[in-house]
Amino acid sequence: MSAQMKKALAVFTIIIIVLGWAITIWGAGPVPAIKDKIKLGLDIEGGVYVVMEAKTDATGDNLRKLMEQTQAVIEQRVNQMGLSEPIVTIEGQKRIRVELPGADDADEAIKQIGRTAQLQFFLADGTKVLDGSMVKDAGITTDKENGGYAVSLEFNKAGTEAFAQATQKAMSGAVQPQMEGVNARAIAIVLDNQIISAPVVNSVIQNGQAIITGGTGGFPQDEATNLSALIRGGSLPVALEEVNTSTQSATIGYNAFEESVIAGIIAIFLILFIMLAFYGIMGVAADIALLLYVILVLWAMGLMGTVLTLPGIGGFIISVGMAVDANVIIFTRIREEIATGKTVRVAVHSGFRRALNTIIDSHCTTIIASIVLYQLGTGPVKGFAITLLLGIIASLFTATLVTQLFLTLTSESKRWSAKKYYGMNEDNTPKHYIKKQFHFIKHRKIYYIVAACIILSGLIVGGIRGYNYGIDFTGGTMMQFNMEKQVDLSKVESSLKTVGIDASELIYSGANNSEIIIKTTASLDNADRNKVITQFNKDFGITEKNVVSVEQFGPSVGKDLRANAVKAVVISCIAMLIYINFRFEWKFGVAAIAGVLHDVLTVIALYGMFHVTINNPFIAGVLTVLGYSTNDTIVIFDRIRENLGIMKKKQLEELIDYSINETLGRSIMTSSTVLIVLIPMFILASNSIREFMLPLFIGVIVGTLSSIFMCSPIYYELAKGSDGSKYKGKKSKKSY
């Protein structure tokens, strides 16, 4: 690419960034501002979500079809409730998750969602001729006459007779239309008092099989599929049981949202400043790439219809911190190339080329963790995972293309190509670097002992005292009330006992202790929760409007959550092991997984030692740490692999020490940046965000230490105990 084209592309990129930020903040014409484009989760906007479990023994394809029918019926129902963008999704195998932004009555929502579908067939004069119990099956078929698709109906014996009589009466011309918009010769199909189809009868149907066509062109496939599912749902109702409920007030959610946004803005400005302070002209390029990165992630979320939750904001901020890593790897490589005596222009080119494999390898492991988290997580955890995943992909794009473009231009400029702008002296030595060479392998056993003591003591304390599991793990209910003044907790406890409820925990919350949080190990259904509200109305004069939030988890939810947590860690480890074995060799893979297990066990041990609550956000935090820790480890392993190919005469211990020391500055910088991002989130954000931040905060520190003091020494143990490495004596692959 010519210099003029590069300059034009750079100017175009700057224009895109400026316009992008303007549109993101204020909008432009038909394009709304991003705040109006991104959907807000219930924890921000307020509303109700309900998870219902189907009580059925169906399995395989039959279960899948039954759940799709149930989903279609519920979607039809909640769309009639007049709420803004309700969301109905199948969660797992037997559960339906319904999110109702703007709803404030969980009891009414559950009644609306859970009642059995009422499917009925009427003549145009309003005469009921048969109901859903008489429908044997409904499906889709091709419409050979009109094109497109049609819906096929099959009735049972009673339905066949009733439908034959109905079609005969419709064809007779004696029916006087009373139903609005229904043809005199039509039979209206009504679900929950709503007409979903009104096909006109063309002949008397006596064999119990009918076809509903969509006229010229037929039905589109999705419309035919939806209609058939609604009809089948009426004939195959499934009982639904509430297993998880949450009611969230918009006030507490929006306050938490504002705090999280402020923390995010502070975190981004901190990163911009740090990159400028430590990397000079390279930091300018990184900041330009970061500004584009933020726009890309936000608009990707908006266009994909991603629901932004408070944990999702946390995931976004973490991904910003991790995006710095790719730039730090590149800048470190460029400085190393200058140190060998190359010109800045050549160093920039070769530095990018040599950094590319490392960036791809390190980011892919975090992508694996994000995908597993998305597949096995629920609700807010999915939002956290998708935001993190989008952030990682965007960082790959901006670091490898945008940063490279601007650094290439500066390196070719007479004014900005001086080595001082790249953190180097004119004699090719770094301006700031750690001169001391640390001997990590020599002292490895000290860290083994320290790590073993921390893990064993934490697990023993947690095992004896018991871990502090949240209600989402154990099952139970959490209710938060605004009492409008501080009340005596003993009086609250007495009110609860009046309605037969024992609270496992009662604590104050809010300004001046005017709110109380009630936790029970029993999973309270709607009736029990309404008893509490009624009793509180008698004793304290509060109403349902004083309910700030409600969380209810059935025992089966907690059991599945624990199982999914273990499954997520195992699947992530296996996937990473396969990837690392493919990209490196098995010794590196085993060492990396050993580091992951060390990190997970250390976090669990610390939670057991200090009795910190283990809940759903804890799983997201641990899995993110899992990906981050492997990211850091891969960078060091990549350098070891490279040095094995070019430092043939060095002893393995000396070579590994040298490789760790080479990447030490990068490890410290990246980890420090992520921690700096976490700090404003931890201080300013809500409790729900802190629940995500705490395991991340601990995990980043533990993960950085393990990549240096645990994984590399374990690789040394494996390599020295066998025939060494397959890279020893070989020239590294094309990047090196």
Domain span at residue 531? Answer: 476-553
Neighbours of 7 (CB within 10 A): 13
Question: How many domains is the chain built from?
Answer: 4
Question: What are the CA-CA distances from residue 271 to residues 75, 265, 431 (Å)?
Answer: 43, 10, 21
Between β-strands 240-248 and 209-212, what pairing exists: parallel, antiparallel or unpaired? unpaired
Nearest to 733 by CA among 635, 641, 660, 634: 641
| Average of per-residue pLDDT values in the chain | 83
pLDDT in tens, 697-720: 887 888 889 989 999 999 999 988
- Considering the domain architecture, whether residues 133 and 96 belong to the same structural domain is answered as no
Please tell me the predicted confidence (pLDDT) of residue 136.
Answer: 86
Between β-strands 119-123 and 187-191, what pairing exists: parallel, antiparallel or unpaired? antiparallel
Q: Does residue 33 belong to any structural domain of this protein?
A: no
Assess whether pLDDT exceeds 50 at residue 605.
Answer: yes
- DSSP secondary structure, 647-682, as one string: -TTS-HHHHHHHHHHHHHHHHHHHHHHHHHHHHHHH
Q: Domain containing 516 — which CATH number?
A: 3.30.70.100
List of long-range contacts for 565-568, beta carbons under 8 Å, 24+ apart = 565/619, 565/622, 567/376, 568/372, 568/373, 568/376, 568/377, 568/619, 568/623
C-alpha 205/C-alpha 335 separation (Å) is: 82
Please tell me the predicted confidence (pLDDT) of residue 74.
Answer: 79
Nearest to 572 by CA among 637, 624, 636, 638: 624
Assess whether pLDDT exceeds 70 at residue 732.
Answer: no
C-alpha 285/C-alpha 432 separation (Å) is: 20
Assess whether pLDDT exceeds 70 at residue 101.
Answer: yes
Please tell me the predicted confidence (pLDDT) of residue 122.
Answer: 93
The percentage of the chain sitting over the pLDDT mark of 70, rounded to a whole number, equals 87
- Considering the domain architecture, whether residues 508 and 566 belong to the same structural domain is answered as no
Across the range 280-299, mean pLDDT stands at 92
Please tell me the predicted confidence (pLDDT) of residue 729.
Answer: 53
Question: What are the CA-CA distances from residue 282 to residues 9, 146, 319, 662 (Å)?
Answer: 18, 64, 20, 19
Please tell me the predicted confidence (pLDDT) of residue 733.
Answer: 42
With bands split at pLDDT 50, 70 and 90, how would you rate the model's confidence at 249?
low
- Considering the domain architecture, whether residues 293 and 319 belong to the same structural domain is answered as yes
Which of 211, 235, 259 marks a domain boundary? 235
Assess whether pLDDT exceeds 90 at residue 44.
Answer: no
Highest mean pLDDT out of 115-119, 131-135, 329-333: 329-333
Model's pTM, two decimal places? 0.71
Q: Does residue 13 belong to any structural domain of this protein?
A: no
Please tell me the predicted confidence (pLDDT) of residue 154.
Answer: 92
- Considering the domain architecture, whether residues 496 and 542 belong to the same structural domain is answered as yes
Give yes or no for a contact between 637 and 588, defined as CB atoms under 8 angstroms apart. Answer: yes
pLDDT in tens, 13-26: 999 999 999 999 89
C-alpha 175/C-alpha 121 separation (Å) is: 15
- Bridge partners, residue 200, by sequence: 186
Across the range 630-648, mean pLDDT stands at 85
- Considering the domain architecture, whether residues 523 and 461 belong to the same structural domain is answered as no
- Considering the domain architecture, whether residues 337 and 459 belong to the same structural domain is answered as yes
Across the range 172-177, mean pLDDT stands at 87
Q: Which residue has the higher pLDDT, 308 or 350?
A: 350
List of long-range contacts for 488-496, beta carbons under 8 Å, 24+ apart = 489/516, 491/539, 492/516, 492/518, 495/532, 495/535, 495/536, 495/539, 495/540, 496/532, 496/535
Cα angle value 475/476/482 (rounded, 5°) = 145
Assess whether pLDDT exceeds 70 at residue 332.
Answer: yes
With bands split at pLDDT 50, 70 and 90, how would you rate the model's confidence at 456?
very high
- Considering the domain architecture, whether residues 720 and 706 belong to the same structural domain is answered as yes
Across the range 629-657, mean pLDDT stands at 86
Assess whether pLDDT exceeds 70 at residue 310.
Answer: no
With bands split at pLDDT 50, 70 and 90, how would you rate the model's confidence at 236?
very low
| 203 alpha-carbon distance from chain centroid | 53
- Computed on alpha carbons and rounded to an integer, the radius of gyration of the chain in Å comes to 31
Spatial strand order in the sheet of 476-482: 87-91, 95-101, 47-54, 240-248, 547-553, 476-482, 515-520, 505-509
Residues 6+ apart with CB under 8 A from 428: 338, 339, 340, 341, 419
Please tell me the predicted confidence (pLDDT) of residue 319.
Answer: 75
* Exposure string over 685-713, b if 16+ CB within 10 A, otherwise e: bbebbbbbbbbbbbbbbbbbbbbbbbbbb
Q: Does residue 19 belong to any structural domain of this protein?
A: no
| 26 alpha-carbon distance from chain centroid | 27
Spatial strand order in the sheet of 187-191: 128-131, 119-123, 187-191, 194-197
Give the 3-state secondary structure of residue 552: strand
Q: Domain containing 90 — which CATH number?
A: 3.30.70.3400
Across the range 221-249, mean pLDDT stands at 74
Q: Does residue 27 belong to any structural domain of this protein?
A: no
Q: Does residue 380 belong to any structural domain of this protein?
A: yes
Q: Domain containing 154 — which CATH number?
A: 3.30.1360.200
C-alpha 542/C-alpha 544 separation (Å) is: 7
Exposed/middle/buried for 531, CB within 10 Å: 0-12, 13-18, 19+? middle
Amino acid at position 679, single letter: I
- Considering the domain architecture, whether residues 652 and 721 belong to the same structural domain is answered as yes
With bands split at pLDDT 50, 70 and 90, how would you rate the model's confidence at 734?
very low
Assess whether pLDDT exceeds 50 at residue 370.
Answer: yes
Please tell me the predicted confidence (pLDDT) of residue 174.
Answer: 86
Please tell me the predicted confidence (pLDDT) of residue 308.
Answer: 77
Give yes or no for a contact between 293 and 394, defined as CB atoms under 8 angstroms apart. Answer: yes
Assess whether pLDDT exceeds 50 at residue 317.
Answer: yes
C-alpha 736/C-alpha 734 separation (Å) is: 6
Q: Does residue 314 belong to any structural domain of this protein?
A: yes
Q: Does residue 2 belong to any structural domain of this protein?
A: no
Give yes or no for a contact between 116 and 131, defined as CB atoms under 8 angstroms apart. Answer: no
What single DSSP character describes residue 436?
A: P
pLDDT in tens, 644-683: 888 877 889 999 999 999 888 888 887 888 788 778 777 7
Highest mean pLDDT out of 118-122, 162-166, 256-260, 300-304: 162-166
Amino acid at position 49, single letter: Y
C-alpha 58/C-alpha 74 separation (Å) is: 19
Neighbours of 541 (CB within 10 A): 10
Across the range 272-278, mean pLDDT stands at 89
Please tell me the predicted confidence (pLDDT) of residue 135.
Answer: 87
Q: Which residue has the higher pLDDT, 459 or 316?
A: 459
- Considering the domain architecture, whether residues 467 and 482 belong to the same structural domain is answered as no
**Which of 44-58, 174-188, 578-592 has the lowest average pLDDT?**
44-58
Residue 531 structure tokens: 């008893």
Q: Does residue 1 belong to any structural domain of this protein?
A: no
Give yes or no for a contact between 75 and 56, defined as CB atoms under 8 angstroms apart. Answer: no
Q: Which residue has the higher pLDDT, 310 or 502?
A: 502
- Considering the domain architecture, whether residues 599 and 454 belong to the same structural domain is answered as yes
Across the range 493-497, mean pLDDT stands at 92
Please tell me the predicted confidence (pLDDT) of residue 731.
Answer: 47
DSSP alpha helix (H) spans, 96-156: 106-114
Which of 210, 235, 260 marks a domain boundary? 235
pLDDT in tens, 523-533: 787 778 889 98
- Considering the domain architecture, whether residues 480 and 467 belong to the same structural domain is answered as no
The full 3-state SS of 20-78, as one line of letters, equals HHHHHHHCECCECCHHHHCEECHHHHCEEEEEEEECCCCCHHHHHHHHHHHHHHHHHHH
Which of 553, 575, 604 marks a domain boundary? 553
Q: Domain containing 646 — which CATH number?
A: 1.20.1640.10
Nearest to 410 by CA among 345, 349, 346: 345
The full 3-state SS of 314-366, as one line of letters, equals HHHHHHHHHHHHHHHHHHHHHHHHHHCCCCHHHHHHHHHHHHHHHHHHHHHHH
- Considering the domain architecture, whether residues 124 and 112 belong to the same structural domain is answered as no
For helices 616-646 and 712-720, angle between their N-to-C axes, nearest 10 degrees: 50
